Amino acid sequence: MIISAYKDKIPNIQESAKIFDGAVVVGDVLIHESVSIWYNTTIRGDMARVEIGKYTNIQDNAVIHTNTNLPTIIGHSVTVGHSAIIHAATVKDHALIGMGSIILDGAVISEYAMVGAGCLVPPGKIVPPRTLVLGNPMRIVRELTDEEISNNNDNINHYLLLMKEYGLPK
């Protein structure tokens, strides 16, 4: 793993967070407690700030970046699937970002929303709370069921346990 400054900005990573081998965290990045950053993820806070809320998991090969004066803010209890890209966007609490999806500048993923695998959320689009979006470009498919919301919360708990089982240093 590489934890590195960019100019005068140094990542601030809470002690209970876990950063796995191959991950790169650079610049103005705040990682809250009990966050897991999995293998080969890149988080780059060089053009603006990146903030990742508590209990969130960022899975393998994800890329999180910003744009000039456009931060990336990821809430708490969020799942970001393998190889997803979040670029200068906001992901609110309890959302799920599917594998290989792309969230672009100024987009907002609302609370409890689900972005399906491979979905493209264009710049400035808003995904309403508790909705499922799919496709390229995204289209709103339907409201999520209580069972789907519960399953997403179970996934958060699974990743909290999984990161503890690894026992690797930060």
- Backbone dihedral region for residue 146 (phi beyond 0: left; psi -120 to 50: alpha; all else: beta): alpha
The pair of structure tokens assigned to 71 is 């931060």
Report the SS3 class of residue 153. Answer: helix
Beta bridge partners of residue 70, listed in sequence order = 67
pTM, full prediction:
0.95
Report the SS3 class of residue 43. Answer: strand
Positive or negative: CA dihedral 44, 32, 93, 132: positive
Instruction: For residues 63 and 43, give the distance between their C-alpha atoms in angstroms, rounded to a whole number.
Output: 6
Instruction: For residues 88 and 163, give the distance between their C-alpha atoms in angstroms, rounded to a whole number.
Output: 26
Containing 44, the helix (H) or strand (E) segment is strand 42-52
Is the pLDDT score of 104 beyond 90? Answer: yes
Per-residue DSSP letters for 51-98?
Answer: EE-TT-EE-TT-EEE-BTTB-EEE-SS-EE-TT-EEES-EE-TT-EE-
Instruction: For residues 92 and 79, give the distance between their C-alpha atoms in angstroms, rounded to a whole number.
Output: 11
For the chain, the domain total comes to 1
Range of the domain at 34: 2-166
Q: What is the predicted pLDDT for the residue at 125?
A: 98
Q: What is the CATH number of the domain that holds 147?
A: 2.160.10.10
Residue pLDDT, tens place only, 110-166: 999 999 999 999 999 999 999 999 999 999 999 999 999 999 999 999 999 999 998
Q: What is the predicted pLDDT for the residue at 169?
A: 52
